[in-house]
């Protein structure tokens, strides 16, 4: 049997619904710890609970902790794969962080649940077993970090949460899942290519994320300059355009050496230097703004934060986003 590391971190998958109030709350004991034997026939499980946090409480510090636990067990125990249970709100960020920072070809699978452990139709245990099944599958190797929920396998780079409560919330816009899960089989039909690695051992950079809107002005950008940030990601309009009123604030940040990465607030397509007008993508690129190749805002923030641990050179940072 393969040796699989299980890291439970909290989230809805570990919570319960108060039947009187309808509120979903953390429980004293993670129910998956008691039901893990349901996957015991699939692999030799090493089970840890490094922390139990709702996913809005997760920070890059916890993401780094998960990276370190996986690397520890790779070295000490020769694990064949890892499964992480996680709250869904920030699941895609943790998955992408691990995809960029853990240098291994073993399957690392992140899963969660949209319904708590005692709700009707609870999806937690099912998703957990599906994740373990994926982690032990030979074809799951060398595909980067995978996200498994609702009988689908997605790549960490492309997947995002698209619905507040639906069990099919995790989708990969434009790309779709790279595999599916049936009762009897794990079926892969895509192979991710061009994956990046950004090795880090510590995190010290502050990167902020802003979303552009009609009538936006420069005030937020001037405020960010006073906050001594290390980098900024902007979710721009359309193909990568901004209201002209923001330009003085952006110029000031660039003059202070703060790298700015541009993504689109649209969830399909990429930003390009197409439009030639004040605030258009062509002007923004000439100013020195870095155009990201298809990442959403939250993932571009993770990538910029990691890139800044490696270099402050804007030209070298740009290479991470090509």
- Cβ atoms 125, 37 nearer than 8 A: no
111 labelled catalytic: no
Residue 178 exposed, middle or buried by CB count within 10 Å (0-12, 13-18, 19+) = buried
Find all residues with CB under 8 Å of 108, minimum gap 6, and list them: 70, 81, 82, 84, 98, 99, 102, 135, 144, 145, 146
Distance (Å) of CA 243 to CA 112, 217, 234, 238, 252:
38, 7, 12, 12, 16
Please, what is the angle between helix 247-255 and helix 219-226, to 10°? 20
Gap between the Cα atoms of 260 and 315, Å rounded: 12
Question: Catalytic residue among 9, 12, 111, 134, which?
Answer: 12
- Looking from the CA of 231 toward its CB, the CA atoms found within 13 Å total 28
- Cβ atoms 10, 4 nearer than 8 A: no
- Cβ atoms 314, 290 nearer than 8 A: yes
Gap between the Cα atoms of 307 and 259, Å rounded: 11
- Hey, which residues are catalytic here? 12
């Amino acid at each position: 049997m393969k040796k699989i590391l299980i890291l439970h971190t909290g989230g809805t998958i570990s919570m319960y619904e108060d039947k009187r109030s309808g509120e979903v709350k953390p429980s004293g004991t993670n129910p998956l710890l008691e039901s893990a034997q349901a996957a015991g026939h699939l692999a030799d499980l090493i089970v840890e609970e490094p922390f139990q946090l709702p996913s809005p409480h997760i920070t890059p510090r916890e993401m780094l902790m998960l990276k370190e636990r996986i690397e520890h067990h790779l070295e000490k125990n020769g694990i064949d794969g890892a499964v992480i249970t996680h709250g869904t709100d920030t699941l895609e960020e943790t998955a992408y962080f691990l995809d960029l920072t853990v240098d291994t070809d073993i399957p690392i699978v992140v899963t969660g649940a949209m319904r708590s452990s005692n709700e009707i139709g609870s999806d937690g245990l099912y998703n957990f077993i599906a994740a373990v099944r994926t982690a032990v599958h030979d074809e799951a190797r060398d595909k980067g970090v995978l996200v498994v929920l609702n009988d689908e396998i997605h790549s960490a780079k492309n997947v995002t949460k698209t619905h507040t409560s639906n069990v099919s919330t995790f989708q990969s816009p434009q790309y779709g899942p790279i595999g599916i899960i049936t009762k009897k089989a794990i079926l892969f039909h895509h192979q991710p290519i061009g994956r990046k690695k950004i090795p880090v051992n510590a995190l010290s950079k502050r990167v902020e994320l802003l979303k552009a809107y009609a009538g936006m002005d420069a005030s937020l950008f001037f405020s960010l300059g006073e906050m001594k940030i290390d980098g900024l990601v902007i979710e721009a309009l359309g193909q990568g355009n901004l209201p002209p009123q923001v330009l003085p604030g952006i110029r000031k940040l660039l003059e202070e050496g703060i790298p700015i990465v541009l993504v689109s607030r649209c969830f399909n397509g990429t930003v390009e230097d197409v439009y030639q007008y004040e605030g258009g993508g062509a002007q923004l690129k000439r100013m020195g703004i870095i155009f990201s190749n298809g990442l959403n805002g939250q993932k571009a923030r993770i990538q910029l934060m990691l890139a800044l641990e490696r270099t402050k050179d804007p030209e070298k940072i740009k290479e991470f986003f090509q």
